[in-house]
Amino acid sequence: MELIKINDKTFEPYVSAEELNQIAERMASEVYQDLQESRPIFIAVLNGSFMFAADFLRHYKGECEISFVKMASYQGTQSTGKVHQLIGLSTPVEGRDVVILEDIIDTGNTLEEIYRLFENQKVKSFRIATLFFKPDAYKKDLKIDYVGKPIPNRFIVGYGLDFDEIARNLPQVYQLNTSLTMTNLVLFGKPGAGKGTQAAFLKDKYNLVHISTGDLLRAEKEKGTELGKIAESYSKRGMLAPDEITIKILEKEVESHPEAEGFLFDGFPRTLAQAEVLDAFLESKGMRIHGTLGLEADEEALIPRIIERGKVSGRADDQDEEKIRKRFSEYNEKTAPLIAFYQAQGKYHPINGIGTIEEITTRLSETIDKIKAE
């Protein structure tokens, strides 16, 4: 595999020049079938679409015109979420069949601005043709008429697409390769073992995206999303959100960080079924769990720690020893079997969870460094 380095990032081949040409030819044929009785005007969105537009026009069999608009919504490897129109439309389009040629549609912010630009142009027909489309990232309810290739929410460069204005001239498309540097970890342990405290240190030290399913569920509820409303309905009945809801929220969070150098999963998986689903989901994204860190501590040593924590937080269930022991029992019943699951994969790493915060952080760091070196 031919890896290339652009700035400080590594990219791997994704779509060959031959496949790109085939896509452009197919899309040109599809548009021609719809507009062969017309003389459409193609509007190419610069800078990213110039190579795609050139190949598309070479394959288009009918009469046509082309014009250009220039917009920008990217900085580095992430969309800024703000579209800046730099050069507006100068060619009259009233009464014309208009086809927008885009290089890539992800969040849909640029597409929204394009629709706004043409809403009062009195065109005969209006169509969108995009070389690449990221369905996982798309947030708008706007029609896309022609799609060259749906792709995962990963950053790509080449064939007109850039990374801080570099790599547009590459004849094929490369995708950001995180497999060489990515480290995905699961952190689990009994209540009071200090997962939250340690996660805060580890995410910063190793530049990981911390995913706490508890925090995600609370955020979804507060935002009043559809998933949040469903989770809230279970909470009101004193029940945990079902796996399918928790997993959808987790998948949504992972997909929102295509540039991540790794994930630290905290509070998930809790059961064997969840672990299997997580493995399958990560595999579908070309990812995997590299190691699981189990903070191990004697229950009798954890009870005083939890009670002291409860005095500070005011949480009643942290001050009731009977309830604490019930939580231990639930953990032992549902979560402890994960140890055997990850041991079978050679990924389980027990960590002594008794000691000062600094001592436990040192033990975790030493283990993570070994995982990263493997």
Q: How many helices (H) and strands (E) does the chain have?
A: 12, 15
Element (H, E) at 172: none
Show binding-site residues for ATP.
Answer: 192-197, 309, 355
Question: 282 by DSSP, 3-state: which?
Answer: helix
Task: Give me the DSSP letters along 189-253.
Answer: ESTTS-HHHHHHHHHHHTTPEEEEHHHHHHHHHHHT-HHHHHHHHHHTTT-PPPHHHHHHHHHHH
Residue type, 246: T
How many other β-carbons are positioned within 10 Å of the β-carbon of residue 290?
A: 17
CA dihedral sign of residues 97, 102, 104, 105: negative
Binding-site residues from annotation for AMP: 213, 218, 267-270, 274, 315, 327
Q: How far apart are CA 74 and CA 51, in angstroms?
A: 18
Q: Binding site membership: which residues?
A: 192-197, 213, 218, 267-270, 274, 309, 315, 327, 355
**Contact indicator for 56, 102 with CB cutoff of 8 Å:** no
